Amino acid sequence: MDMELDDRDAAVLDVLKEGRANPRYIREQTGIDSGDVNTSLVRLSRQGKVRQLTRGLYEYAGSE
């Protein structure tokens, strides 16, 4: 089930399209608060758009 991306999800994806990142870096680049970054990462991971490589490191999975 592919859900519509909200602005936060889109901003997180934009950062990850530039390369691998951790939540702190994503927060610094987007200004989105910690809880919302984590929520977006979970949602995007479940949709297959983002892949968690190790604890705290994510990358764009290329399925948009």
- Specify the pTM: 0.89
**Is the model's pLDDT at 63 over the cut of 80?**
no
23-38 confidence digits (pLDDT tens): 999 999 999 999 999 9
Q: Could you tell me which CATH number the domain at 7-58 has?
A: 1.10.10.10
Single out the residue of 60, 35, 34, 44 nearest to residue 9, CA to CA.
44
**Is the model's pLDDT at 10 over the cut of 60?**
yes
Q: Indicate the length of the chain as a whole number.
A: 64
The residues, any chain, with a CB within 8 Å of residue 48's CB and separated by 6 or more, are 61, 63
